[in-house]
Amino acid sequence: MINPFRDAMDYMERQTYCGLRERQAGGVNMLTDYLDKIICGDCLDVMASMPESSVDSIVTDPPYGLSFMGKDWDHGVPGEAFWREALRVAKPGAHLLAFGGTRTHHRLMCAIEDAGWEIRDCLGWLYGSGFPKSLDVSKAIDKMAGAERAHEAIQWQGWGTALKPAWEPIVLARKPLIGTVAQNVLEHGTGALNIDGCRVGTEDKLSIGSNKHNGNAINFGMKDNKEAQSQHPQGRFPANLIHDGSDEVEAVFPKNASRFFYCAKASKSERGEGNNHPTVKPLALMRYLCRLVTPPDGVVLDPFCGSGSTLVGALQEGFRYIGIEKDPDYVNIAYARTKHALKEWGRKSRQQVLQEVVS
């Protein structure tokens, strides 16, 4: 089969994985050996060669353990060993964001916690475009009976085995702090969430402060009948719910969906030509998540980078990135996407990105 990214892959292997293995013979590699690179290899092995306490955040979409579309890489949820190694390379106070499946995220969360991370929250990404993978019980009975419409099947007409998927959990965890939050932030630059950078713009009158009514204002971002005592210029406090802005989601939250950050699922043009990865996340979502947990000019690690959405999102936000992916074909795709993003956006610092947003 002709691979349109073959040349890119040859370059990547020559510049990253092979080179890292050669340098690793002399000990642990320097962080600069990994920056803005996509490494083809097992993330457990690659992270073991990385320096301790070196990355500012980890944003990743690991296997859900659902055998999705029969893919070999989705036969299990990454266990404690993966997240323990991720903990080692993360700075004290660094945050981890990991997508999970609705049927298996409990295993993901337990593995992350057992590895030494502190579970801080669980975000929900809602979308209306999920496709139900439900077995029609009546048809199954017909098939078993070898009949077009078996008598026994009639009473089971309309019964199935699964619901339409409409959300995905995202585990939010943090490496234990050294000292207080204030001490850790000043020492390592990690430990806090970028609240103002992730606020949701609104024209509603809001207030900030305690949870009490104060004059004509209602606190905690609740809408007030008249005027707010103190309006935050950047909008609503970010919530642990994200949605895709679809009609289905808007119908569930009439007049309230705008309270939450939203972005549509990845379009065909956003995925890029030749991208056949089955679980591509939208770039706006990955940009938002990277921005939420990464300090200015920080380094984002994705140990299960797939087709590179996290890496492109990090690049567009002005962060450095490190991608690790086991499948060479997906490395090809991720490299092509980051190369295209770099050509389109250029290498910018976080401060440059913020200045462009303001202007």
**CATH number of the domain that residue 329 is part of:** 3.40.50.150
Least confident of 30-39, 65-74, 100-109: 65-74
Contacts 24+ apart (CB under 8 A), 256-261: 258/200, 258/202, 259/200, 259/202, 259/221, 260/200, 261/198, 261/200, 261/288
pLDDT of residue 164: 86
Beta-bridge partners for 173: 96, 119
pLDDT top residue among 56 and 244? 56
Domain of 343, in residue numbers: 6-130+165-194+238-358
Residues of the chain above pLDDT 70, percent:
68
Residue 27 clears pLDDT 60, i.e. is over it: no
Residue 258 clears pLDDT 60, i.e. is over it: no
Look up residue 319 and give its two tokens: 């962060």
Residue 147 clears pLDDT 60, i.e. is over it: yes
Residues of the chain above pLDDT 90, percent:
49
Of 119, 167, 159, nearest to 140 by C-alpha is 159
Residue 354 clears pLDDT 90, i.e. is over it: no
The verdict on residue 318 lying in a domain is yes
pLDDT of residue 201: 74
Cβ contacts of residue 22 below 8 Å, gap of 6+?
none
Write out the H or E segment, with its range, that includes residue 331: helix 328-345
Of 304, 303, 302, 311, nearest to 334 by C-alpha is 311
Do 18 and 102 belong together in one domain?
yes
* Domain end call among 180, 209, 236: 236
Do 178 and 255 belong together in one domain?
yes
Query: What is the C-alpha to C-alpha distance for residues 239 and 223, in angstroms, rounded to an integer?
Result: 15
Within 104-225, strands assigned E span 118-126, 167-174
Do 205 and 121 belong together in one domain?
no
Do 37 and 10 belong together in one domain?
yes
Least confident of 86-95, 118-127, 260-269: 260-269
The verdict on residue 138 lying in a domain is no
DSSP 285: H
Do 303 and 225 belong together in one domain?
no
The pTM of the whole model exceeds 0.95: no
Is there a contact between 13 and 40 (Cβ–Cβ < 8 Å)?
yes
Highest mean pLDDT of the ranges 116-120, 248-252, 331-335: 116-120
Do 222 and 325 belong together in one domain?
no
The verdict on residue 137 lying in a domain is no
The verdict on residue 155 lying in a domain is no
Do 50 and 190 belong together in one domain?
yes
Within 79-213, strands assigned E span 90-99, 118-126, 167-174
Q: Compute the chain's Rg from CA coordinates.
A: 23
The verdict on residue 152 lying in a domain is no
Mean pLDDT, the chain, integer? 79
Query: What is the C-alpha to C-alpha distance for residues 136 and 138, in angstroms, rounded to an integer?
Result: 6
Do 100 and 225 belong together in one domain?
no
The verdict on residue 283 lying in a domain is yes
The verdict on residue 44 lying in a domain is yes
DSSP for 216-282 reads: TB-STT---SS--SS--TT-BPP-SEEE---HHHHHHSTTTGGGSEE-PPPPHHHH-TT---TTPPP
Residue 356 clears pLDDT 50, i.e. is over it: yes
* Domain end call among 175, 210, 236: 236
Residue with tokens 């947003």: 357
Please give the backbone phi and psi of residue 325, each rounded to the nearest 5 degrees, phi first: -150, 135
Look up residue 293 and give its two tokens: 């947990």
pLDDT of residue 232: 73
pLDDT of residue 289: 96
* Domain end call among 236, 259, 293: 236
Mean pLDDT value across residues 79-90 = 96
Q: What Å distances lie between residue 70 and 65, 74, 76, 219, 263, CA to CA?
A: 11, 8, 12, 49, 28
Residue 174 clears pLDDT 50, i.e. is over it: yes
Query: What is the C-alpha to C-alpha distance for residues 219 and 207, in angstroms, rounded to an integer?
Result: 5
Residue 33 clears pLDDT 70, i.e. is over it: yes
Do 20 and 64 belong together in one domain?
yes
Q: What Å distances lie between residue 106 and 101, 109, 233, 289, CA to CA?
A: 9, 5, 38, 21
Is there a contact between 281 and 309 (Cβ–Cβ < 8 Å)?
yes
Confidence of residue 227 (pLDDT cuts 50, 70, 90): very low
DSSP 173: E
Do 205 and 120 belong together in one domain?
no
Mean pLDDT value across residues 294-299 = 96
pLDDT of residue 94: 98
Do 211 and 259 belong together in one domain?
no
Do 55 and 172 belong together in one domain?
yes
Q: How many domains does the chain have?
A: 2
Is there a contact between 200 and 260 (Cβ–Cβ < 8 Å)?
yes
Is there a contact between 86 and 108 (Cβ–Cβ < 8 Å)?
no
pLDDT of residue 296: 94
The verdict on residue 156 lying in a domain is no
pLDDT of residue 78: 92
Of 42, 162, 150, nearest to 102 by C-alpha is 162
- Measured over the CA atoms of residue 272, residue 336, residue 65 and residue 110, the dihedral's sign is negative
